[in-house]
Amino acid sequence: MINAAQPIIGDEEREAVDRVMRSGMLAQGPEVAAFESEFSSVVSGLHCVAVNSGTSALHMGFLAAGVGPGDEIIVPSFTFAATANAVALAGATPVFVDVDIDTFTMDPAAAEAAITSRTKGIMPVHLYGQPADLVALSGIAERHGLILFEDAAQAHAASLDGRPVGTWGVASSFSFYPTKNMTSGEGGMVTTADVEVARRLRLLRNQGMEKRYANEIVGFNTRMTDIHAAIGRVQLTKLAGWTATRQRNAAFLSEAITEVVTPPTAPGAVHVFHQYTVRIEGHDRDAFAAELMKRGIGSGVYYPTPIHRLPSFALDLDLPVTDTVAAQCLSLPVHPALSDDDLQTIAETVNAVARAGS
């Protein structure tokens, strides 16, 4: 079986965990501070604040930027539920809009059409590692006096027009979940250029205090442990190499797969291929995936149900592209652990299943 995803954990990560365990400093300490400093190189030196999950990164980012009850945040419906959950957890309302059929990211025209007097911000998702159209979306935000956020959970080291994702928004959020392009076991990072937003983030994650027992605001416990930070620091040193491998793997698949719609890279974008997601046109996507599994190829469906159709939101909206891609998208293996033979097998099998009319 060729697995759809495969976290890579080596001896260096194990040694880093042992180092922390021996130190006796397990909670937020020097490893977290070092991880924040080192991750800043991914986002052009911006402030980095580590937290315990990608969802916490989104949630804390909204709160630190002043999002709250009565506000609306425009988000795509075609993404993981955490994107909208974080808006709701901040007390605001997610407003769902459609995506572009080629990049799977927020349609700027749809976002602008959804702006109301209650709109506080826009949050595109750099889905599958493809940067959203940040040039257009930042222009819309500026024209309408809105805050731009970035959900960069799947896009470590992606960029647009030479500018890294995570540097365009007032607050941007990364995830280090095990299947992401790099992991800390679990964790997240908020990045910002705003020193006051960064300070509020540090207060919010630590019960509202920077100095022990001097609680300034009502806060949370969303701290990252030094164990997780130590893993993240090691993984960060491998990110560039793994990213290059993902990109090479994706290029091979796009050349070799001819029978389904392969993912383009937007002009000016550096796509980091968290997922290699094709569209299955003219076939039953789920039957297609089942046949691949029978032939030894794992795959994933991200995401089968748009957020606005989940029971947690259950809104009657007309988002035709979202409905189309949710029915057609299938993510194939692209991770760095694949061999050349694996890649050849994936491409040949996908083409064969498509030709067989599964």
- My answer on whether 245 and 205 are in the same domain is no
With respect to residue 93, please indicate whether it lies within any of the assigned structural domains.
yes
- My answer on whether 47 and 123 are in the same domain is yes
Between helix 340-356 and helix 226-256 the angle, nearest 10°, is: 60
CATH code where residue 216 lies: 3.40.640.10
The separation between the first and the last C-alpha atoms of the chain, rounded to the nearest angstrom, is: 20
Q: Which residue range forms the structural domain that includes residue 256? A: 239-356
With respect to residue 1, please indicate whether it lies within any of the assigned structural domains.
no
CB atoms within 10 A of CB 145: 8
284/287 Cα distance (integer angstroms):
5
CB atoms within 10 A of CB 15: 11
With respect to residue 220, please indicate whether it lies within any of the assigned structural domains.
yes
- My answer on whether 230 and 253 are in the same domain is no
Between helix 340-356 and helix 285-294 the angle, nearest 10°, is: 130
pLDDT computed for residue 358 by the predictor:
52
> Of 200, 234, 268, which marks where a domain is finished?
234
With respect to residue 6, please indicate whether it lies within any of the assigned structural domains.
no
pLDDT computed for residue 93 by the predictor:
98
Residues comprising the chain, all counted: 358
213/40 Cα distance (integer angstroms):
29
Between helix 11-23 and helix 226-256 the angle, nearest 10°, is: 170
Separation in Å, CA 282 to CA 103, 162, 173, 357: 20, 37, 36, 8
With respect to residue 3, please indicate whether it lies within any of the assigned structural domains.
no
> Of 234, 265, 289, which marks where a domain is finished?
234
| Closest to 223 in 3D by CA, of 190, 179, 197 | 190
- Count of domains in the chain? 2
With respect to residue 2, please indicate whether it lies within any of the assigned structural domains.
no
> Of 192, 217, 234, which marks where a domain is finished?
234
- Are 67 and 73 a contacting pair, CB within 8 Å? yes
- My answer on whether 245 and 213 are in the same domain is no
- My answer on whether 262 and 137 are in the same domain is no
Peptide bond into 177 cis (omega under 30): no
- My answer on whether 35 and 137 are in the same domain is yes
Dig out the tokens for 330 from the structure.
């299938």
CATH code where residue 345 lies: 3.90.1150.10
- My answer on whether 226 and 253 are in the same domain is no
Per-residue confidence of the chain (358 residues) as pLDDT tens digits? 999 998 899 999 999 999 999 998 888 899 999 999 999 999 999 999 999 999 999 999 999 999 999 999 999 999 999 999 999 999 999 999 999 999 999 999 999 999 999 999 999 999 999 999 999 999 999 999 999 999 999 999 999 999 999 999 999 999 999 999 999 999 999 999 999 999 999 999 999 999 999 999 999 999 999 999 999 999 999 999 999 999 999 999 999 999 999 999 999 999 999 999 999 999 999 999 999 999 999 999 999 999 999 999 999 999 999 999 999 999 999 999 999 999 999 999 999 999 998 5
With respect to residue 4, please indicate whether it lies within any of the assigned structural domains.
no
Q: Find where tokens 């407003």 sit.
A: 95
- What pTM was estimated for this model as a whole? 0.97
- My answer on whether 113 and 205 are in the same domain is yes
pLDDT computed for residue 26 by the predictor:
87
pLDDT computed for residue 285 by the predictor:
97
pLDDT computed for residue 28 by the predictor:
84
- My answer on whether 243 and 340 are in the same domain is yes
With respect to residue 157, please indicate whether it lies within any of the assigned structural domains.
yes
- My answer on whether 304 and 182 are in the same domain is no
Task: Provide Rg for the chain, Cα atoms.
Answer: 20
- My answer on whether 219 and 254 are in the same domain is no
pLDDT computed for residue 340 by the predictor:
98
- My answer on whether 45 and 135 are in the same domain is yes
